[in-house]
Amino acid sequence: MTEMSWLWAVFTIIAAAGQTARNAMQRELTARLGTVGATHVRFLFGCPFALVFLAAVLLAKGAGPPHPGTAFWLWILAGSLSQIIATALMLAAMGERSFVVAIAYTKTEPVQVALFGLAFLGDPLNLPTAIAILLATGGVIVMSWKRQAGGGSWPVVLGISAGSMFALAAVGYRGAILALHAPDFVLAATFTLAVGLTLQASLLSLYLAVRSPSVLRAIVLAWRPSLFAGAMGAFASQFWFLAFALASAASVRTLGLVEVLFAQAVSHLAFKQPATLREALGILLVVGGVVLLLWAQ
């Protein structure tokens, strides 16, 4: 990697760390607010932070916001709706299994991201990168492939379905950023994030106001932990979007598998869920895939 091309990797690692903190907080909020309520927290309380990020970037650069065309709005709508569904599925999976295993199921995402990115955006996929994606994804499958005491295959379906929707969201957001044709990647990424979170917050607020106003009230009452979850969500998303502006969605989401390592640490320290030998082997495969991915760039 030369010049500034290494920045996408730094952005991705920071994003993965922030997302782990947000996921841990949302997991705790699910018991109080339900799946839809906890899902909404990241969007409703993340939106103001994203708008502040955008205002700061515009002020620092002395520029006006981009003027998006139809393609941008189609991509951002696809990405926003996919992420709402993905987050709800992920939180439902967390309710069925341990924190780290639920995260692992969703991380079957990179293979799908690579295929969607190639099909819809024309993102290139060389052989070393493809092997790295398969190796790292194989690691999370090894981590999650274990007999269940109950629940059958439902947690697996929830987790893998969440991964599929996260894959579509990643491709949608990268498509939106590229559709802006902006010379400044920071402005393009930040503007896309602000629009996406505003759209998500508005849609879910409207849904809850009509269908479950009591949940909306509960979210407001739980504003202290929700504010932290929203802040960490916006922080993580800002760096995900910066990475998407610089590298293919497949590369970003594969390196993002380091979140599994962070989740393992959270699971052990916060939720007292020790790692098994199988999970340790999976971690080694993930690390191997990540190393190969960085070498292949």
Overall domain count for the chain: 1
* Position 14 in a domain: yes
**Residue-level pLDDT at 235:** 95
Helices 154-179 & 223-246 angle (0-180, nearest 10): 60
Averaged pLDDT, 33-54: 89
pLDDT at 82 over 90: yes
Asked if the structure places residue 16 within a domain, the reply is yes
On whether residue 150 sits in a domain, the answer given is yes
Residue 29 counted as domain residue: yes
162: in domain:
yes
**Residue 281 lies inside a defined structural domain of this protein:** yes
Determine the Cα–Cα distance for residues 144 and 78; give it in Å rounded to an integer: 29
Percent of the chain at pLDDT above 70? 87
At 170 the pLDDT is 94
Is 289 inside a domain boundary?
Answer: yes
d(CA 163, CA 278) in angstroms, rounded, equals 21
pLDDT at 101: 63
Q: What is the pLDDT of residue 269?
A: 67
In the predicted structure, residue 197 carries a pLDDT above the cut 50: yes
Q: What is the pLDDT of residue 149?
A: 45
Name which residue leads in pLDDT, 91 or 103. Answer: 91
Task: Please write the tens of the pLDDT for every residue from 103-158.
Answer: 667 777 888 899 899 889 999 888 989 999 988 888 877 876 655 544 556 767 78
- The answer to the question of residue 2 being in a domain is no
Q: Please report, rounded to a whole number, the percentage of residues in the chain having pLDDT higher than 90.
A: 38
For the residues of the chain, what is the DSSP string, one character each? --TTTTHHHHHHHHHHHHHHHHHHHHHHHHHHHHHHHHHHHHHHTTHHHHHHHHHHHHHHHT-PPP---HHHHHHHHHHHHHHHHHHHHHHHHHHHS-HHHHHHHHTTHHHHHHHHIIIII-----HHHHHHHHHHHHHHHHHH----SSSTTHHHHHHHHHHHHHHHHHHHHHHHHHHTT-S-HHHHHHHHHHHHHHHHHHHHHHHHHHH-HHHHHHHHHTHHHHHHHHHHHHHHHHHHHHHHHHS-HHHHHHHTTHHHHHHHHHHHHTS--PPPHHHHHHHHHHHHHHHHHHHH-
Residue ranges making up the domain that contains 190:
7-296
pTM for the model:
0.86
Q: Tell me the CA distances in angstroms from 107 to 18, 104, 156, one per residue in order.
A: 16, 5, 12
